[in-house]
Amino acid sequence: MRYIMKLNKKTVDDINVKGKKVLVRCDFNVPLKDGKITITNTLNTPDTGDMSNVGLWMSLFGASMAGTLGAAYVSLKKKKEEE
């Protein structure tokens, strides 16, 4: 089943912005036909908090930490041997 997102669009006329600073984000690349969005694939992009492959990212983090700690240990060991 495909999720259809409802868009609660507001216009500038719907909000009282008199005397306020306003930041407006507009997406001008949305294809419209008769006032309706025709292609919704741009609206179905993954969220920033996408949690897919968490195990992969955690294992890569662990491997990089192990490499960093190993390199620091070898560096400290060489410094002590030189003294």
The predicted pLDDT at position 78 comes to 92
- At 28-54, the pLDDT tens digits run 777 788 878 777 665 566 666 666 788
The predicted pLDDT at position 65 comes to 97
The predicted pLDDT at position 45 comes to 62
Whole-number Å distance between alpha carbons of 15 and 66: 54
Decide if pLDDT at 19 tops 80: yes
Q: Is the pTM of this model over 0.75?
A: no
Confidence label for 2 from pLDDT (cuts 50, 70 and 90): low
Q: Alpha-carbon torsion 44, 50, 54, 58, what sign?
A: positive
